[in-house]
Amino acid sequence: MSGPTPVDVERIRSLLNRGDVAFDDYQDCELVVPTTNAVYFWNTSNPQILQLRGQWRGVAGDDRQFGALAEQVAQCNATRTGPKAFLAPLDDGLRYGLVAECNAVAISGLTEDQLSCFCETSMGMIMSFFHDIEEALPELVTWEDAPRAIADPAEGAAAPVRRAGGAR
């Protein structure tokens, strides 16, 4: 068994390739993974922290919806060990999106087993939370159950999806 090694975007790229996951580059040190109900961001910009952040596709467009989402966020943060959830304003400043994230301290790096476990555990926690939101607030589920292009959640703009290995 090899020891911990630093976590960088290339290690995440390799992990996603092994899992045959569709992804693309998003920003420096960050990869994006689209799914039907959310967009996930693997952020390695801080060498001491590995972050998996999910942006749910549902949007709170009015005060009632915002309040309902805020209640779900408070419940999540009060009862679950993860993910950390919060509401973030979208680019228009009028609507809010739901974000959930998990972080791993990686000061000394992570082993392959630790990286794989973080991926599985974090994805599972975030996906479970989003599923519970969809059950509690079905009126905010406005997407179809079909594969989606990678989108900027704030703008709805789509870009081509890159399959594992980087081919478009």
| pLDDT at residue 79 greater than cutoff 60 | yes
> Whose CA is closest to 99, among 37, 60, 55?
55
Q: Between 158 and 93, where is the model more confident?
A: 93
> Whose CA is closest to 152, among 87, 83, 97, 94?
97
Q: What is the pLDDT of residues 129-143, one digit of tens each?
A: 999 999 999 999 999
Structure tokens that stand for 101 in this block? 């994230």
> Whose CA is closest to 12, among 59, 39, 44?
44
Q: What is the pLDDT of residues 88-100, one digit of tens each?
A: 998 888 889 999 9
The pair phi, psi for residue 88, each rounded to 5°, is -130, 135
Q: What is the CATH number of domain 9-166?
A: 3.30.1460.10
Q: For residue 162, what pLDDT is reported?
A: 33
DSSP state of 166: G
Q: What is the pLDDT of residues 16-68, one digit of tens each?
A: 999 999 999 999 999 999 999 999 999 999 999 999 999 999 999 899 999 99
Domain spans in the chain, listed from the N-terminal domain onward = 9-166
Name the pLDDT band for 146 (thresholds 50, 70, 90).
Answer: low
